[in-house]
Amino acid sequence: MPLPDGDSKLAHKLVEDGALLLDVRTQAEYAERHLDGSLLIPHTELPARIDEVLKAQGGDKSKPIVVFCRRGGRAEVAKSALLQSGFTEVTNLGSIDAW
C-alpha cells in the first residue's frame, strides 16, 4: 500500500526513523530557507540525479523518502519520477511550511 501524501506527522515519524528528506526546490529557495538534514535535488534535475538518491538511500529503493517543495506541485512531479525509477515508499509532504 503506498504512503499517503500531505501527512506531516507521518513525514516527521519517517524522517525520525531514517527516511530521506528530499527538497526539490531551487538552489535559491534552499539558500533562503531549508530543513535541516534535507538533500537538495531540484525537481528538474532529479531524473538525471536518481543515482544520488539511491546512494543516499544506501542502495535500498524500498527505504522511505519524504519529498517537499514550496507548495507541493514540484514534489508531486518528483514523487512520480521516483516511483517510475523503482522507489516504492515515497510520500509528498507538499509544502515546506507543512513541516
Q: Which residues contact 44 (CB under 8 A, 6 or more apart)?
A: none
pLDDT at 2: 81
Residue pair 24/79 in contact by the 8 Å Cβ criterion: no
Give the whole-angstrom CA distance, residue 29 versus residue 82. Answer: 21
Residue pair 98/68 in contact by the 8 Å Cβ criterion: yes
The listed CATH number (3.40.250.10, 3.40.50.620, 1.20.1250.20, 3.40.50.11890) that belongs to domain 8-98: 3.40.250.10
**Would you give per-residue pLDDT tens digits along the chain (99 residues)?**
789 999 999 999 999 999 999 999 999 999 999 999 999 999 999 999 999 999 999 999 999 999 999 999 999 999 999 999 999 999 999 999 999
Give residue limits of the domains in the chain: 8-98
